[in-house]
Amino acid sequence: SNFGTYSQADLQPTAPTGRMLLRTLVVAGLMGLVSSAALYDKDPNVEQLNSLNFHTHIKKPDSMNHVKLIEFYTESCANCKSFVKEYKELAKQLKGVIKVAAVNCDKEKKICAEYDVKTYPTLKVIPPGAFGVQDYAGERTAKAVYPWVMKFFSHFVEKITADNIEAFLNKNAGKFKTLLFTDKPKTPLLWRGLSVDFFGKMTLGEVKSSEKAVCQRYKVTKFPTILVVKPGQKKPIKYEDKIEHKELFEFINRYQETFAMENLAADEEIALKKPWLSEAVPEMTSQSASDICYSGEAVCV
């Protein structure tokens, strides 16, 4: 034949050379890395938690108002692997609203023991405030988990009408506020999530298209329209980018930080005028007495 003839010896497998053996081991090692890689390593919507970032994720001040959903899994668990697609879809649906994360219990045994994880995958919710961990016991599909986790979610969007717009603007008058003008019957989930992101930093309001007076005041004729406003402002600042969490967060955050910088400058001015406010043991003088003794944080005897 075209392939020539072979003796029996020719058909026997040859012993691998040192180079071939090394290449085989490297390939096998790489395949092992791929197969044992964390299930959500490349998913931008699922945060991988470990011993270095777990407790920070749970307790950091800017996430204390968020609901956290955490999956505890192992790499060899068949049910975990079959749940990956559903969990990724769930994380996509909850983006900007619920903090979705995962813990690899093969590597993070201490965390999994601390949270009493005995079966895989295990889903737990940590509600706002990081107290009262709740276990999920239903069907492991995005459709089933979604309504369960949303039961723990609450938001801080204020409904704005012609009757309360002045009070809304004048509350913390130096701060910017952000208004969403919408013709939707329900507050958009994305806007609710952003209100949690900025709770205590900036207030988010919602104006329905039926609030004609408020819409006319701000010359809004198209929906949705997003405006950053504050009292005494000549012209509101209009958001012009796409309606996505990342872009909206960055836009709103700019004005939250503007206020923070104004605050910082004011604090520095006060520190120069009243140095005793930043002293560990302030000296009592006629000037400092009212701040030290009557501030409600100290008692002078």
- Quote the crossing angle between the two packed helices 189-197 and 245-273, to the nearest 10°: 20
Q: pLDDT-derived band of residue 38, with 50, 70 and 90 as boundaries? A: confident
Phi, psi angle pair for 289, to nearest 5°: -55, -45
| pLDDT score of 244 more than 70 | yes
Torsional sign, CA 166, 171, 172, 177: negative
Q: For residues 160 and 198, what is the distance between their CA atoms, to the nearest angstrom?
A: 18
CB-based burial of residue 213 (10 Å sphere; 0-12 exposed, 13-18 middle, 19+ buried)? exposed
| pLDDT band with cut points at 50, 70 and 90 for residue 256 | confident
Does the predicted model carry a pTM greater than 0.85? no
Condensed to tens digits (0 to 9), the pLDDT of residues 162-215 reads 999 999 999 988 889 999 999 999 999 999 999 999 999 999 999 999 999 999
59 pLDDT band (50/70/90 cuts)?
confident
Most confident stretch, 15-24, 48-57, 95-104, 286-295: 95-104
pLDDT band at 258 (very low <50, low <70, confident <90, very high): low
Read off the pLDDT band of 292 (50, 70, 90): low
pLDDT mean across residues, the chain: 82
